[in-house]
Amino acid sequence: MLNHTLEDNMTELDDIFNAIKADPQNAEYTARGVDPLYAVDPAAKIVLIGQAPGIRAEQSKMYWNDPSGDRLREWMGIDRDTFYDPKQVAIIPLDFYYPGKGKSGDLPPRKGFAEKWHPQLLAALPNLQLTVLIGMYAQKYYLGKNRKRTLTDTVHAYQEYLPKYFPLVHPSPRNQLWMSRNPWFAEDVLPDFKQRVHTILQ
């Protein structure tokens, strides 16, 4: 639409937010006063796609507000103000709500959630230059058959997915052992990632 203005985009985003809250799939959260946790602004040039908010994020109403977020910001080479500015960085996890606790950690994102809401939100990001895929679930959803046999192999082959996608391992401190076993990640991948983020946000 030629006359599609910024104001129109923001109105559409408000409509999507309200539709997510009204969706029967999310009725339990809405009844508890829990809003969907994501951030989108038409000006954003980078979008981060991860798994789903954790319980700490739900309680604080702030995504990536933990040691994993600290490490992610370090990898990106940006401060908290930039990270939490949706005009700079959009955050669209595969599920906008904490899915609950499983036997070995948080439950995976709910099936069908990203399929329903991601296309609408991504369509509202006309200036998007880089989609960062954090962890196995995001890579499986967005790369599909193009991802490698393992997450390690996918991240190692990150250049194959550029310039649109940049696959990363999750920045959780629990992945420290993985990083020590794969020194190429810190030596080769992270410097390239940080430089790309810097170039795009400049």
Both tokens of 53, joined, read: 């908010």
- Asked whether residue 196 is domain-assigned, the answer is yes
- Asked whether residue 39 is domain-assigned, the answer is yes
Q: At residue 134, what are phi and psi to the nearest 5 degrees?
A: -100, 110
- Asked whether residue 1 is domain-assigned, the answer is no
- Asked whether residue 64 is domain-assigned, the answer is yes
Per-residue pLDDT of the chain (202 residues; tens, 9 = 90+): 334 555 667 789 999 999 999 999 999 999 999 999 999 999 999 999 999 998 889 999 999 999 999 999 999 999 999 999 999 999 999 999 999 988 877 899 999 999 999 999 999 999 999 999 999 999 999 999 999 999 999 999 999 999 999 999 999 999 999 999 999 999 999 999 999 999 999 9
Exposure pattern of 116-153 as b/e (b: 16+ CB <10 Å)? ebbeebbebbeebebbbbbbbbbbebbbeeebeeebee
Q: What is the pLDDT of residue 5?
A: 57
- Asked whether residue 32 is domain-assigned, the answer is yes
Q: What is the pLDDT of residue 102?
A: 81
Whole domain around residue 167: which residue ranges? 6-201
Q: What is the pLDDT of residue 1?
A: 37
Assign residue 137 the CATH number of its domain. Answer: 3.40.470.10
- Asked whether residue 22 is domain-assigned, the answer is yes
* Structural domain count, the chain: 1
* Number of residues written out for the chain: 202
